[in-house]
């Protein structure tokens, strides 16, 4: 399925590049396309028709953002790092791999993983369309990095990512999320030439959104109802 994932990825990029849906955002994916009734877009000799969203994207009434960091009494999974490597040791950089991102417009959910097999499965089986990479991260714990935990709320159809064990545990205890382990390892401070991975949240869509692009933060906060929730961590730039 690698070929078709690549094809979707390529077509997606081409379409976005040619048709910024609102005319204001030039670097992405997410803009307001899922709200558009129908978009007929052309690329070379090919015409794409982007269908309107299915009406099954259920409006969920709960909109509690995951900003609470109240520790819970539950027993968190054991994720203790075995070593405490020194800060500013950047020798692991050659091992970094892309943080992949995909979006499912029908359920309004962004999915992130550093595992290409998982991404291929999400694209092939779960209705996700791959978008731009969100910097480079590690698949093993390296100097200065911590786990970026992934959680999922099956009712809200939302993937949530955090480096905070308190937020992770609170999401499980109080917000119906299930822990899905570790998506990647990222920096907690801006070392080794890393850049911020911003976190935003839409209460309306019940969707957590992560990006390395300030342009997406600036556009999506006012444009699509996402609230800026600060910096989730630091990742290496694309190159
Ligand atoms: C990637 O994900 C697949 C499927 O979940 C898993 O079997 C595999 O071990 C993962 N690879 C790495 C390097 O974690
Ligand atoms: C997550 O799912 C539960 C049901 O399992 C729901 O009650 C809750 O509101 C959802 N959380 C969020 C943040 O929407």
Q: Are residues 119 and 218 in the same domain?
A: yes
Question: Per the domain annotation, does 3 fall within a domain?
Answer: no
Domain that holds residue 25: 21-55
Measured in angstroms, how far is the CA atom of residue 235 from the centroid of ligand 1?
21
Residue 14: pLDDT band (50, 70, 90) is very low
Q: Are residues 103 and 213 in the same domain?
A: yes
Mean pLDDT on 182-187:
97
Pocket around ligand 2: residues whose beta carbon is below 6 Å from it?
60, 62, 64, 153, 155-156, 175-176, 206
Residue 232: pLDDT band (50, 70, 90) is very high
Q: Are residues 114 and 172 in the same domain?
A: yes
Helices (H), 26-164: 116-125
Measured in angstroms, how far is the CA atom of residue 140 from the centroid of ligand 1?
12
Q: Are residues 29 and 122 in the same domain?
A: no
Question: Per the domain annotation, does 127 fall within a domain?
Answer: yes
Q: Are residues 98 and 194 in the same domain?
A: yes
Q: Are 234 and 189 in contact (CB under 8 A)?
A: yes
Q: Are residues 131 and 211 in the same domain?
A: yes
Mean pLDDT on 122-146:
96
Q: Are residues 151 and 220 in the same domain?
A: yes
Protein residue whose Cα sits closest to atom 1 of ligand 2? 176
Q: Are residues 110 and 209 in the same domain?
A: yes
Measured in angstroms, how far is the CA atom of residue 182 from the centroid of ligand 2?
21
Question: Per the domain annotation, does 79 fall within a domain?
Answer: no
* C-alpha–C-alpha distance, residues 14 and 198, integer Å: 25
Residue 88: what pLDDT? 76
Mean pLDDT (the chain) is 75
Question: Per the domain annotation, does 81 fall within a domain?
Answer: no
Residue 49: what pLDDT? 38
Q: Between the CA atoms of 4, 8, 10 and 11, what dihedral angle is there, to the nearest 10 degrees?
A: 130
Whole-structure pTM value: 0.67
Residue 221: what pLDDT? 76
Q: Are 144 and 187 in contact (CB under 8 A)?
A: yes
Mean pLDDT on 115-132:
96
Residue 78: what pLDDT? 55
Q: What is the pLDDT of residues 23-61, one digit of tens each?
A: 333 344 333 333 333 333 344 444 433 333 333 333 333
Q: Are residues 50 and 98 in the same domain?
A: no
Question: Per the domain annotation, does 209 fall within a domain?
Answer: yes
Question: Per the domain annotation, does 71 fall within a domain?
Answer: no
Q: What is the pLDDT of residues 80-112, one digit of tens each?
A: 555 555 557 999 999 999 999 999 999 999 999
Residue 139: what pLDDT? 97
Question: Per the domain annotation, does 73 fall within a domain?
Answer: no
Q: Are residues 108 and 214 in the same domain?
A: yes
Q: Are residues 131 and 195 in the same domain?
A: yes
Residue count (the chain): 239
Pocket around ligand 1: residues whose beta carbon is below 6 Å from it?
115, 117-118, 139
Q: Are residues 105 and 220 in the same domain?
A: yes
Among residues of the chain, what percentage have pLDDT more than 90?
A: 58
Indicate the residue among 36, 55, 74 that finishes a domain: 55
Question: Per the domain annotation, does 64 fall within a domain?
Answer: no
Mean pLDDT on 160-188:
97
Q: Are 136 and 115 in contact (CB under 8 A)?
A: no
- Looking at the 3D structure of the chain, how many domains does it have? 2
Q: What is the pLDDT of residues 140-158, one digit of tens each?
A: 999 999 999 999 999 999 9
């Amino acid at each position: 399925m690698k070929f078709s994932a690549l094809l979707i990825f390529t077509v997606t990029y081409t379409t976005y590049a040619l048709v910024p849906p609102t005319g204001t955002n030039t670097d992405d994916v997410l803009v307001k396309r899922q709200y558009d009734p129908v978009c007929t877009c052309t690329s070379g000799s090919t015409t794409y028709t982007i269908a309107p969203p299915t009406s099954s994207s259920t409006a969920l009434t709960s909109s509690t953002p995951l900003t609470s960091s109240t520790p819970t009494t539950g027993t968190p999974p054991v994720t203790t790092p075995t070593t405490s490597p020194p800060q500013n040791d950047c020798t692991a950089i050659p091992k970094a791999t892309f943080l992949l991102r995909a979006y499912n417009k029908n359920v309004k959910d962004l999915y992130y993983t550093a595992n290409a097999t998982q991404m291929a499965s999400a694209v092939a089986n779960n209705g996700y369309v791959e978008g731009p990479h969100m910097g480079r991260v590690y698949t093993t714990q390296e100097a200065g990095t911590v786990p970026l935990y992934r959680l999922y709320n099956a009712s809200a159809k939302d993937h949530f990512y955090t480096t905070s064990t308190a937020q992770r545990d609170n999401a499980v205890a109080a917000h119906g999320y299930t822990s899905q382990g570790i998506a990647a390892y990222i920096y907690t401070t801006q070392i080794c030439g890393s850049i911020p991975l911003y976190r935003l949240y839409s209460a309306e869509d019940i969707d957590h959104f992560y990006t390395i692009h300030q342009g997406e933060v600036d556009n999506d906060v006012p444009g699509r109802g996402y609230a800026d929730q600060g910096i989730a961590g630091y990742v290496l730039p694309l190159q």
